[in-house]
Structure 1
Amino acid sequence: MKAGINMKIIAKTVCLFVLLTVTIVMRSAGNNRVSVTMGDNTVLTCPLKPNITMVIWKIDPKVGGHCRLGYRTDKNETNTTNCSDNMNWNSRPDVNTSLEIRHVGIAQEGNYTCEVVSTEGNFHKMYHLSVLVPPRPRLYCDAQGTPVCEAATGLPAAHISWVLGDNSLPEEEGYDNGTVTVLSRFTACSTNMTATTCMVFHPTGKWSESIACCPSKEVSFKLYVYIIPFLLSIMIFMAFIYYFKFHSNRLCHKTKPPETDPIQNDTMEVEPYTTYVQKENVIYNSVSDLTVGQNLPQELWPET
């Protein structure tokens, strides 16, 4: 029972795989992919059939509106709707129905369909136009002495690799026009390396360049020779500033006059006056007693 069920499942899977394969083949046959480098010219052909009565090119770009180019043989007239100036018939449409695109730009990327009406029936052919933008490669050393390889504004995104191999993940930055900048840092530097080579791969071509960024033993020794004295100088300078500041504070504390209590000062200022008054009173009392004793009778003298 289980074996029968498994056989049915396998049969359905095979049928599904065959149908998908046929669909993909049919779609590939009806949709031709064309890649053009930006700035180049390209020509898209249309089916050649006898007794043609009408030809229509339908362009659906990724950017902008739809474009239509039409030709009627009975009136021998052409019609163009919303098409750019660099897009037109390759020659006279009654002789050649191909479409020519001059100086292809990113805006021309999209789907192109040619429809032919003749006495034998209707025929069509479809293209998918891809625009290739060569990246601008650059190899340089960053502030830390790490080799950096960059492929700027490419379409599609470029692939970067290092000759000596590196596991660092590339960084990608996309732009509104579809181009991509790829940046890769070589992190496997060692003091034994003298140079490293970056390779950029793109459908428009290959590029490679070498650079010497990785620090060598001699460079490391020179860094130590210059950096260590510099750090020691800073430490000595800071110690001198601290020492000078500490001793300046001590000198200021020694020369500062002692603070006095204002109440005590007032007391010291008042005490001489009080002593003087007391002495004056004693003298006055003595003189008074002497005068009274001379003028009064004996029985009225004060007791001593």
Structure 2
Amino acid sequence: MFFSLAPMRDAMWIYAVFTFLLSEAWSMEVDSHFNQGSEVNLTCSNETRKEMLFIRWKIELKNKKTCQIGSIDGRSDDDCKDGKSLRNTSSGLSYLHIPNISETDEGKYDCDSTYTGGNDHHVIHVTVTVPPSVSAWMYHQDNKVVAVCKAERGKPAANISWNHVGNVSSVKSGSNGYFTVESRLELLEEMDTENLSCAVSHPSWKRERIIVPKLQKADHSLRLYALIVGVIIVISAGFLFFAWRKIMPFSLLTYPLVTRRCRQSDTTQSKSPPAEEVEEVEPYASYVQRVNSIYNSSADLFT
């Protein structure tokens, strides 16, 4: 809970209201950008500590609960408890100190101050800037030279310009508050590119960065990969072909023998039943022959 000041704070607010009605009040709202990792000091009044009666910072961050840091009649309190603090310069000027600012400190900083003779109300929208990673290169395409200048993951987006006139196209993409900008410059192949350069500017830098694109060497890795794959396919096909040539003559020689043996086996099996019939008929034939011989012998006796 912010300040358990009860009647003292009420008295101060009554005094502040009368001061506001009887004197000039200043109100200001600004957008401020700070480099990530830097030390930040925010002020909302030019009055010194001797003249300051009341000061309060109401801080609304993106992913945190609203908190307050302030001082009244020399007593201070802080329910943010995240490293921010009220400090004073050697001359007694009050300011809010943010150490090692990061994206978690982005948000709205609302300050009310009351001093002898007036009051101030300042709203500061704090944004953290992140410098981009920059690169540049060139390559040949058909009868043209294409130069590329790229600024990756900057916050906010960077600006890119060229020192040559040509067909320029730019693409900007963003993700999670970070932006990537890519600018392409197309030049005729016969144009001089020796002094070609791109300039990248960003709020994180005091000066723009000048980058000279380097000619990109042809990438032969894809061709080499295709060549290796082709050689492997040819060798595999040759191996399979010779293996097939080795196996096929043996198959051609053995196939007739196997077929002949199968046919002979089938013929033998098909001829087996008649042999059995002969074996069954032979006893009957011998029996008839014997009967006939007996009959002939009997006939000879009677003649």
1:172-222 deviations in Å (ceiling 9; x for gaps): 3523xx3x1527497979999999977644222344353443528xx69x9
Match of 2:294 in 1: 291
How does 1:196-235 map onto structure 2 within 5 Å?
A: 200-205=200-205, 206-207=208-209, 208=211, 210-215=213-218, 223=223, 231=230, 234-235=233-234
State the Cα distance separating 1:111 from its structure 2 match.
Answer: 2.2
Provide, for residues 55-74 of structure 1, a one-character-per-residue CA deviation record: whole Å limited to 9, x for no partner.
2222222332223222223x
**Equivalent position of 2:104 in the other structure:** 107
Contact 1:60 1:110 in 2 (8 A): yes
Shift of 1:115: 1.5
Q: How much identity, in percent, do the aligned residues show? A: 20
Indicate the residue corresponding to 1:12 in structure 2: none
**Is residue 33–residue 127 contact of structure 1 (8 Å, CA) maintained in 2?**
yes
What is the TM-score normalised by the length of structure 2? 0.62
> 1:197 and 1:235 mapped to 2: Cα distance?
48
Q: For 1:1-304, list aligned pairs within 5 A.
A: 30-49=28-47, 51-73=51-73, 76-91=74-89, 95-137=92-134, 151-159=151-159, 170=171, 172-175=173-176, 178=177, 180=178, 182=180, 184=182, 200-205=200-205, 206-207=208-209, 208=211, 210-215=213-218, 223=223, 231=230, 234-235=233-234, 237-238=236-237, 241-242=240-241, 244-245=243-244, 248-249=247-248, 251-252=250-251, 254-256=253-255, 257-258=258-259, 259-260=262-263, 265-275=268-278, 278=281, 281-296=284-299
Indicate how the Cα distance of structure 1 residues 279 and 102 shifts in structure 2: closer, same or farther if over 3 A, else same.
Answer: closer
Q: Secondary structure at the match of 2:213?
A: strand
Aligned CA distance change for structure 1 residues 188 and 233 (closer, same or farther; 3 Å) = farther
Instruction: Answer yes or no: is the 8 Å Cα contact 2:151–2:180 preserved in 1.
Output: yes
Q: Give deviations 1:232-253, integer Å, cap 9, x for gaps.
A: 6734652662475378457525
Q: Which runs of 5+ in 2 are unaligned?
A: 1-26, 139-145
**Aligned length in residues:** 258
Tell me if the contact between 1:199 and 1:209 (Cα under 8 Å) persists in the aligned partners. no
- TM-score when normalising by structure 1: 0.62
User: What secondary structure, in the 3-state scheme, does the structure 1 residue paired with 2:68 have?
Assistant: strand
Residues 244-297 of structure 1, C-alpha deviations (whole Å, 9 max, x = no match): 537845752552322449875434123234345545644543343122221247
**In the alignment, which residue of structure 1 is the partner of 2:143?**
none
CA contact (8 A) 2:170 2:181 kept: no
Pair 185,214 (structure 1): closer, same or farther in 2 beyond 3 Å: farther
1:140–1:87 CA distance, 2 compared to 1 (3 A) = farther
Give the superposed CA RMSD: 4.7
On the 8 A contact 1:160/1:199 being kept in 2, the answer is yes
Give the AA of the match of 1:241: L
